[in-house]
Structure 1
Amino acid sequence: MEDIEMINLWKSYDKKLEESLNLNRKNAEDITKMKVSSLLGSMKPLKIFTLLTGILWVGFGSVIIANLFLFAFDKVSLFFLISAAMQLVLTAIAIGIYIYQLVLIHQVDINKPVVTTQHTLAGLKSSTLWVARILFLQLPLWTTFYLSESMFKNGNILFYFIQGGVTLSFIFLAFWLYFNIKMENKHKKWFRLLFEGKEWNPVMKAMDLLSQAEEYKTAL
């Protein structure tokens, strides 16, 4: 009888221990999800401000470019029209990515599985890198919008040398950043300088929290 009682007691203890571990897992997961939700929520104000600013910029700029193209095409530098139009197109693409990011943040639900939240964070991380790549492609355009045909007709060798050097340098920098902004370089100093702040840090902290939660569940 004593052996049977000991076995039953042991089984009861195992059951209570398992219930306790399951409760700990659930509590840890819920707390992590709330922290992740709070981190992502902190990104909303800046993204909404950037989105509204971008929409105003593209809207206002598009009206100006359209009017210049229709009513003053022969009086405006072609360099300005092309540079401004390309800048607005790239900004519009960035706006689309910001809208996508806000949708992702809105879809975060603490009641959904951790894997679902991890997928959302991966989308935010990837799109943040993409919006940076696209915006950096604007760099050369800031060295050409002020050019005009008369500047080339009346320019000297020094002008051609300086203007060509600046524009080529910005083209090289823009494409170098476009191809090198990727997670493989996240530990490099230039990458950390570019991606410090509320556009990046909350996403990385949230991903770390979810990874720690998964490790905790595995350990238990």
Structure 2
Amino acid sequence: MEDITLRNLWKAQDEKLDRTMKLNLFILESLQKQKAQSKLNGLARLKLVAVILGIVWSLFLGMLIYGNQLQNIYFTVSVGMIMLITVAAIAIYINHIALIKNLDYSQSITYTQKKLAKLQASTFNNRFIVLQMPFYTTWFWSTQMIESSGIKFWLIAVPITLAFTLLTIWLFKNLTPLNMHKNWVKFLVKNDPEHRPVMQAQKFLNEIEEFKKAS
């Protein structure tokens, strides 16, 4: 009789502990998902501001190109390339906003983690913006300037543009998820206002998984 009573007490205690663990998991999961959602919503607002500013900047550059009327081919090509790259960056940002807004936090943690991994990988596409760099060194070129500068143009302006071009190519090739093991890439990512919220959201979700394993 005492053995049956003892087993019933143990069973009741186990059920109580199980309910407590499930409740704690539910509370933790709800809280961590809210934190992740808050971080990502802030990121979406940041990207929306970037989209608006990018559109304004692109329109301004378009006006400059129209006003130039191909009078200076260096200016037209340089500003045109900056505008095209800006438009491409706007499209990337809009895609990021859509990814964030389409996240379903009611789905499993695994589902959300996969979506965040996709967002993080896509965020590296922002390196596309660095392709503008060389064109900021050529927009002021003109036939008259080249002729009047003579050797100075080839010794100063051209090497500067070449240096920026090589730096741009190097950054574009190396700023990828495959190089996340490199310290300089880690540093840039951790301090990037676009990467940091995604990493923080991933950390919040990982804490749920760690709690599940511990329990």
Instruction: Give the TM-score taking structure 1 as reference length.
Output: 0.87
Counterparts of 1:76-87 in structure 2, within 5 Å, are: 76-87=71-82
Aligned residue number for residue 8 of structure 1:
8
- Asked if 1:114 is matched to 2:109, the reply is yes
Aligned residue number for residue 21 of structure 2:
21
Distance in 2, matches of 1:182 and 1:115, equals 23
Give the unaligned 5+ runs of structure 1.
Answer: none
Q: Do 1:58 and 1:92's aligned partners in 2 also have CA atoms closer than 8 Å?
A: yes
**CA offsets, 1:8-57, max 9 Å, x none?**
32222222222221222121111100111111122233222211010111
Counterparts of 1:24-43 in structure 2, within 5 Å, are: 24-43=24-43
Distance in 2, matches of 1:191 and 1:153, equals 45
Amino acid at match of 1:41: N
Q: State the number of aligned residues.
A: 214
Percent identical pairs in the alignment equals: 34
Distance in 2, matches of 1:159 and 1:121, equals 48
3-state SS, counterpart of residue 166 of structure 1: helix
Q: Do 1:143 and 1:167's aligned partners in 2 also have CA atoms closer than 8 Å?
A: yes
Instruction: Give the TM-score taking structure 2 as reference length.
Output: 0.88
Counterparts of 1:47-196 in structure 2, within 5 Å, are: 47-66=47-66, 68=68, 72-73=69-70, 76-131=71-126, 133-183=127-177, 184-185=179-180, 188-189=183-184, 192-193=187-188, 196=191
Amino acid at match of 2:98: V
Q: Do 1:181 and 1:191's aligned partners in 2 also have CA atoms closer than 8 Å?
A: no
Shift of 1:94: 0.6
Q: Do 1:30 and 1:110's aligned partners in 2 also have CA atoms closer than 8 Å?
A: no
What is the RMSD of the two structures over their aligned residues, measured on CA atoms? Answer: 2.1
Give the unaligned 5+ runs of structure 2.
Answer: none
Shift of 1:89: 1.0
